[in-house]
Structure formats: structure tokens, C-alpha cells
Structure 1
Amino acid sequence: MPWFESVAEAERRAKKTLPPSVFNAIKAGTERGLTLSDNVAAFSELGFAPHVAGSVQNRELATTAMGVDLALPVILSPVGVQAVHPVAEPGAARAAAARGTAFGLSALGSTGIEEVVTENPKTFAQTYWAGSREAIEARVERARAAGAAGIILTLDWTFSHSRDWGSPFIPQQLDLKAMARLAPEVLRRPRWAYRWAQTKRPPALQVPNFEGSPGFFAAYGEWMGTPPPSWEDIAWLRSLWAGPFMVKGIVRVDDARRAVQDVGATAISVSNHGGNNLDGTPATIRALSAVVDAVGGQAEVLLDGGIRRGGDVVKALALGARAVMIGRPYLWGLAADGQAGVENVLDVLRNGIDSALLGLGRASVHDLTPSDLLIPDGFSRRLGA
């Protein structure tokens, strides 16, 4: 059956569909994968405190974040080159629009911002601190001209030299040599190969949202070669955009305060880049409460990392998140069944959110509080106090 009942099933189907190198590129984290594992496992340490009567028949899942209305508190996070399916970013953006939510377009995505905004007006343009100020300003202006709903500045990705488990071979370009090397595993995945054969083109490894539309690794190299930004640099970038502006990658309370008070961010995302940054960083759900307390209602706080079911979303909202952002789950859905697979993942999460609200006796996602959870001693982490 094309429909699947869980994110775990989407992952299983993605693994059966994708060449191992492609699947592992999505699955792997840095070094030992400690942060990646904790992102997911930490949710299982949180329990629910359900009611048995007094619930309402119809529950409200809608909210707002980053200046847009959301039919459910789940946003598709920016993820680079989406070669898991030929529909790529436009298909994922259409899926988000079909389910009434927003899409984050990676600066390292394989589709231009103009096309994606056409598919989903609730598109946020992600940017990295890469290249000269002139180049950064040009990308912001391009996002503005395209009609992007907001900017996501991603800071939770520093260059890691060590992906020493599940690390696949990723070619710089799909030339004959690379295709010959990958051919054996591609032949083991005929469905994926057939999808791309129908398009009469190989998976795109260009990143058109960088000037000159360079290859992924060329853009990656430009980012690596750019000195890391200061808080003054980030404030300058913020000054270029008057609308919704997210700083993604906050796990410390002192960074949260600076992002809001010194930079003027309207939203922050508690994120560790899905376990693809500094290994040993705590799970984002452990850092969430302290960041929410530090910001004090001055900005929206979202959570990114480890979401695998609707109950995880509810736990994040109970601890103060405005909404959550997902990456791997929707890529697995995209690999499994294209746009319909992404819609399927969002439906799974929606159903799980609604079920959790019913059990907790809550009429709305806005009614959730920490009292709805069983939080073990020592669960939360307060970094940078």
C-alpha cells in the first residue's frame, strides 16, 4: 500500500528505495553519533500525564510562526540537495502547502528560491554566513524579490572533519567516473534509478541559490573558507531584512539572549543541526526549557531535532516551543513516495498530535504546559547560564 502509518515505516521504505550512499548521507551524524542518538532518545524519557474524562470532541492544531499561519505546528526544515526523488524541493514545498504549513528552502538546495515560492508562498529562505558581505546581501535581496516569507540564518553547522560512521561516498559531480563507482548500488535500487531515468537527467548537484549556481561542494567550500560571523555581523545581516528573521542553532541561554536582544531575531530555533554538528551536544529537547525561559516571550522559540511522531511534537510544545521543524522524516517520506510521501508524514504527525491532545484533555496546542508531562530529575540542560 502507498500509505504508511508511521515515520519509522517511511524510513524503512526510504532505505529500501535509496542507494545506500544516499540513504546513509541522510541518516548519519558526526563522529559517534552521540548527539544524533540523544536527539531521538531524549523524547522517550518524557512521559505523559493523561486525563480520562473531560476532553473535547474537536481539537485545535493551528498556530502561527514566523509571521505565517500554520494548520499544524510542524514546519519542513531547510535540507540541502534533495536528490532522494526527482520532485525534490518543489514537491516537498507543494506537500507542505497542501497540508497548510511552511517550507524552509536550504541555501544548498537544488532548486531556485523563485520556483519554490511559487509552489508554496509560505517559504522561508535559509542562508549561511558564506562569502563576502556583498554576496550575502545579494542572496537576501533575491529572497526578497522572490517573495520569501522570512529568513532563516543557520549557525548550527560548523565544519566537521569526522563523520566516522555511516559515512558515504558523495561525488562532487555526477561525471562518468562517479557514475561508474555508484553503478553497483544504484542497480540494487531499480525503483530509484527508474524514477530518474524517466526524467532523462541525473540528480542535480548544483545549488542555484548561490551566485553562479555552483556545485554543492564549491558552495560548501565557499562557506568553509569564510571566517565565522561575529554577533555584529549577524546584526548587520538582520538589518537587511525587516520581516521575520530566525537564528537557527541556539542551545545556550546566553546565545538566546544575544540573538533576541542584540540582533533582534523574531524567532530562534533550538537546534544542533540534527546531530550533524559538534558531537556530544545535548539533545535539543533537553535545552529547550532553559532557552524558552531566557527569551521570556520576546521571540518565538521553535525546536528542531529528533521529532519522529506526533507525541514528540506535543512534548516540545508543552515545554514552550511555538512549533517544531523536521528534516529527516520528510526526506524519508519524499524518498518513499515523492510529494505524496511528504504529505503522508505530515498526516502521521497531525494524527499523533491530535491523539495526544485527546489523551491529555487539551482543546488546543496552545493549552499545553509542562504539567502535561512527566519530566525526570536532571532531564533538562541549562547551557551558558
Structure 2
Amino acid sequence: MASSKDWFETVAEAQRLARKRVPKSVYLALLAGSEAGRTLDDNVAAFGELGFRPHIADLPAQRDLTATVLGQELSLPVICSPTGVQAVDPDGEVAVARAAASSGTALGLSSFASKPIEDVVAANPKTFFQAYWLGDKDTMLARLDRAKQAGAKGLMVTLDWSFVTARDWGSPPLPEKVDLKTMAKFAPQVATRPGWLARFLRSGTLPDLTTPNLVPRGEQGPTFFGAYGEWMFTPPPSWDDLAWLRRQWDGPFLLKGITHPDDAKRAIDIGTTAISVSNHGGNNLDSTPATIRLLPSIAAAVGDQLEILLDGGVRRGSDVVKAIALGATAVMIGRPYLWGMAANGERGVHNVLEILRQGIDSALYALARSSLAELSPDDIVVPDGFHRGLR
């Protein structure tokens, strides 16, 4: 399908449109990477270093793109990763949920989300709840119980964050809350993007910077920065703490932020269902290698004892295929679908997922693979020195 007013053909095009359609601070927040951005850049660049070994005959007429992740049947091996407070579009996480449902896939809902988990699960039953180690254990249990009652299909525990907020290029100014003072401060930026403001005005709302899923249903959640502060000053978890948390959740359980094979093995020890090889999209410790460089050593360390997801740097369907060939079960995406939403709301998120679907299908065809299960490292050309994992 050619690009049109309401449809784009690549994630790069979605990013260009997003830059034109949202205020500068909102756009810069979607680009954020810690310190010098070395990990942020490497996440993307590393995929470009990998090649394919295609075939020219006996190519499969039909390709099976389905995958099972955390017990959910998906039409493609791509999940929308949890991202906090989506002030990109009035419908926020609910728009993402509907778009993921229309593409036959799942999403992770951040505990820092701007929409209640009940509304998101209603829009897409294939919703996983994402949690941080935040607050005391009783508060965490109440949070998990609310997610269970809402119908969340699994728990994602995010650990790849070390509170590195420095940005060599400067962090965008983000408000604590939207009030008259904030509106006056950001008015010059918003004035240059009237379409973005119009979307909110038509919905009868302003960007919501509170976090309703951190408190019992119906209560006023803290602001994003209030929640961040509590998280920052909560003592970090031990492996015993994570084992305790695992026992509290009787469904699929994923640890997000694995970059070391030893941590992957410890995840098995506590009964984890799945891990995500992740560096928080380049927002954790800068100079951590790209996740695709680390994936093979982690896959070798755990074998088939748990599911492996990968996030960081995925921009094309061919990137998804490279990750699966090197050991992943599926991938998660963050910036790409946020750019899609900034460009064209719910339809833009769906657009991004369908771009990736088409790219996955084309790569399978050229590699003469009729399903994801047939992919192997032999399909990939890996240059010397590419891997950064421990063996």
C-alpha cells in the first residue's frame, strides 16, 4: 500500500510525521536516551550490521507469522511495550490497546500509564500489566490484585532502570501537571502544533499526567513525577524479593531488563515464565551494548527453559526476523508505536504494527521459511566482533 494522507509505509515515515504533529517537548520525550545516547544509537545500528542468506527457489506460498507469548496466541510476534503516561494522544493506552487488538496482538500496560487498567483490558483482553518495585509490599500486593481483578493476562516486572536522567543534549521540559501556569509556559510550543491541541479539545480533555493504576480503583493517582520519586527512593529488590513477588502472581511472569546471562539463569531459578533482553530503549546505563548483540549468549544460557523477548532498536519487520533467528520468541516495541500514535492516533499504531507484519512476511518468504519456528542462526550473516555477550 502506497503512502497516503492517512497511511505511511515505514516506521521512519511515522517518526517524521510525529515530529511535525506534536509539540517539541513531547517529541523529544519520545527520543530520550541516557547520557551520550551510545546505547540508544547502538540498539538501532546493530540490526543494520546483520545480514541475511536468502534463497531464490522453493519459496513458501504461505507463511505463518503466529506466536504464543505468555500464554497468548498472537497473529505476529510483536507486542506493544509498556510506556508511561502517553500524552501523545487523548485516548493514550486505550488507543494502543484497540490498535493492538485490531492487529491480533498484545500490549504491556505501564503502571505509570495514564488510563485505568480496567479500560485498557476492556479494549484488548490480551493485556499484560507492567510493575516496578515501588512502595512497600502491601502496596505492591494491592496493585497486583487490582491487575488480576481487571483481567491482566500476565505480569511484567521492569528492572532495567538505574535513574540515569542526564542527557548530553538536554532533557525536554515536562510539567508536573497541566494547569493554567503550565498551559501558559508551553503555549508557544503548542501554538506551532494546533492539530495536536485540537485532538485533545475535541475529546474534552487535556493531557493527563497522573498514574491511576498505582492506587485502588477510583482513587486519585499520583503525578508521574510523584510516582517516579517514590520509585527512586524505594530500596531496590534482591533476588529473594523477586522470588517473593513471583509467588504472589499465579500467572505468566516476565522479568524485563536482562542483559547478562547470569541474571537470565537466576530468572529461571525463581520460576520466571519469560525474560525480556532489554536496556530500557537506551535509557538505562549508557554504553550497555545493543540488546541484539547480547541476545545469542543469553539464549544459549537458558535454552528452552523460558520464553525470550527482546526490545530495543526494532524498526522493521526484518529486525524482528533477525531477533527470532538469534533466539527470541518475540519482540516488544516502544518508540515505533508512539511515533505512529503521534502521527495518526489509534490508526497510526495499527499502521506501524502492519508495517512490521509485512516486513516479517517478506523476510520469511525470501529466506524460504514458512514459519517463525523454522528460523535459525544459519539465516543470519553475523560479522566478526558483533556479539558482546559472555560465553
Please indicate the TM-score interval, normalised by the length of the shorter structure.
over 0.9
| Aligned with 1:309 (options 316, 322, 330) | 316
Asked if 2 retains the 8 angstrom alpha-carbon contact of 1:28 and 1:165, the reply is no
Q: Distance in 1 between matches of 2:178 and 2:190?
A: 13
Q: Distance in 1 between matches of 2:170 and 2:60?
A: 46
The residue type equivalent to 2:338 in the other structure is L
Q: Distance in 1 between matches of 2:62 and 2:338?
A: 30
SS of residue in 2 equivalent to 1:268: strand
Q: Distance in 1 between matches of 2:15 and 2:315?
A: 10
Question: How do 1:274-285 and structure 2 match up within 5 A?
Answer: 274-285=281-292
Shift of 1:378: 1.4
Structure 2 match to 1:31: 35
Asked if 1 retains the 8 angstrom alpha-carbon contact of 2:261 and 2:297, the reply is yes
| Aligned with 1:217 (options 193, 217, 225) | 225
Structure 2 match to 1:178: 182
Structure 2 match to 1:375: 382
| Aligned with 1:6 (options 7, 10, 35) | 10
Matched, 1:103 2:134: no
Q: Distance in 1 between matches of 2:305 and 2:375?
A: 19
CA RMSD of aligned residues (A): 0.8
Structure 2 match to 1:93: 97
The residue type equivalent to 1:318 in the other structure is A
Q: Distance in 2 between matches of 1:200 and 1:124?
A: 28
Instruction: Normalising by structure 1, report the TM-score.
Output: 0.98
Q: Distance in 2 between matches of 1:357 and 1:382?
A: 26
Structure 2 match to 1:19: 23
Offset from partner CA, 1:279-332 (integer Å, 9 cap, x none): 110000000001111112110001000000000000000001000000000000
Matched, 1:204 2:211: no
SS of residue in 2 equivalent to 1:135: helix
| Aligned with 1:349 (options 336, 352, 356) | 356
Asked if 2 retains the 8 angstrom alpha-carbon contact of 1:76 and 1:330, the reply is yes
Task: Spell out structure 1 runs of 4+ moving beyond 6 A.
Answer: none
Structure 2 match to 1:334: 341
Matched, 1:239 2:247: yes
Q: Distance in 1 between matches of 2:166 and 2:51?
A: 34
Structure 2: gaps (5+ residues): none
Q: Distance in 1 between matches of 2:288 and 2:19?
A: 27
| Aligned with 1:158 (options 152, 157, 162) | 162
Shift of 1:200: 2.4
Asked if 2 retains the 8 angstrom alpha-carbon contact of 1:28 and 1:166, the reply is no
Matched, 1:363 2:358: no
Q: Distance in 1 between matches of 2:283 and 2:193?
A: 26
Asked if 1 retains the 8 angstrom alpha-carbon contact of 2:90 and 2:206, the reply is no
SS of residue in 2 equivalent to 1:243: coil
SS of residue in 2 equivalent to 1:258: helix
Range that drifts further, 74-83 or 162-171: 162-171
Shift of 1:151: 0.1
Q: Distance in 1 between matches of 2:81 and 2:180?
A: 33
Classify 1:14/1:166 alpha carbon distance in 2 versus 1 (closer, same or farther; 3 Å).
farther
The residue type equivalent to 1:274 in the other structure is G
Q: Distance in 1 between matches of 2:71 and 2:341?
A: 26
Q: Distance in 2 between matches of 1:280 and 1:141?
A: 37
Matched, 1:256 2:264: yes
Shift of 1:166: 4.7
The residue type equivalent to 1:291 in the other structure is I
The residue type equivalent to 1:242 in the other structure is D
Shift of 1:181: 1.2
Give the paired residue count: 383
Matched, 1:226 2:230: no
Offset from partner CA, 1:22-42 (integer Å, 9 cap, x none): 000011201110000000000
The residue type equivalent to 1:38 in the other structure is D
SS of residue in 2 equivalent to 1:235: helix
Shift of 1:254: 0.3
Shift of 1:164: 2.7
Percent identical pairs in the alignment equals: 59
Structure 1: gaps (5+ residues): none
Shift of 1:193: 1.0
Structure 1 match to 2:83: 79
Shift of 1:163: 2.1
